Structure 1
Amino acid sequence: GELAQRLGVEASHVTRTVPQLEKAGYVSRVPDPDDRRAQRIRLTQEGRRAIDRIREAGARGMQSALAHWSPEDLRQLATLFHRMADDFVAYAADEEPEPRATA
């Protein structure tokens, strides 16, 4: 449930996707030390390598797409992108649910 909430998707989507990621070797399930009924999803070494490959491909694509931009355009993009990221982080911090009290 927490993973679905963090990703902004329905819990059923996570329920269907995690077994596929686990079967592919990208994640593993581990017991939640705080809740015996729950499990945590942990990224495996293979999962980390897959993320690295995706990031590298994205960076190469971005470099190719922006190759003809002027240095000033790139500086402006970087400034606005950092502003956007900061605003997203601030918004997410404001939207975090209060911790649940345990009985």
Structure 2
Amino acid sequence: MTDTQWRADENGGSPSADTADAATADPVVALEHEMIAVTRRFRRLIAERSRAVHPRLDPVCYPMLLMLRRADAVAMSDLLTELAIEKSTLTRRIDSAARLGLVERIPDPDDARARLVALDPGCRRKLDEILENETELWRGRLADWSAADIRELTALLQRLGESMD
């Protein structure tokens, strides 16, 4: 399937009728089409969430903020491992978020030479609010799904993710 055969619709990238027939014939092709559509929608959601945190926040920084939200402070080495990015890329993202007042570098109590990265308390509160609202939106989107269907989708997504590592 070429990029020219793929026509994104207004809802974030569903396949056109031409490609839908081809995708139906091959379940792997159908999966690929749906994954592309879902990826486009998630990119849009991440961009919206990033703007909600700060109007000038680059969406590529958002996953880092979510990781920092799970801990009081995180070592750069842990961020590098979790985010699977280069050190220079991480440094730029931290610098960018720090300039916006969203994160700060603090001394590592276990190593005087090292620094940890921590969320600013205001950023943490904003992320908590955004994620709480997003959870409610997901509850609405999945209101007609059974709990078993949600668990099955979760398990299948985990399995798919593991196969991609």
CA distance in 2, matches of 1:20, 1:4: 16
Unaligned runs of 5+ in 2: 1-75
Q: How does 1:47-58 map to 2 (within 5 A)?
A: 47-58=123-134
Query: What root-mean-square deviation, in Å, do the aligned CA atoms of Structure 1 and Structure 2 show?
Result: 2.7
Matched, 1:40 2:116: yes
Identity %: 31
**Partner residue in 1 for 2:154:** 81
Moved over 6 A (4+): 82-85
**Partner residue in 1 for 2:90:** 14
Q: What is the CA-CA distance between 1:8 and the residue it aligns to? A: 2.2
Paired amino acid for 2:147: L
**Partner residue in 2 for 1:67:** 143
Q: What is the CA-CA distance between 1:18 and the residue it aligns to? A: 0.8
Q: What is the CA-CA distance between 1:62 and the residue it aligns to? A: 0.7
Q: What is the CA-CA distance between 1:55 and the residue it aligns to? A: 0.8
**Residue by residue, what CA displacement relative to the aligned partner does 1:31-58 show, whole Å, maximum 9, x if unpaired?**
1122232211112211211221221232
Unaligned runs of 5+ in 1: 92-103
**Partner residue in 2 for 1:31:** 107
Q: How many residues align?
A: 84
Report the TM-score, using the length of structure 2 for normalisation.
0.42
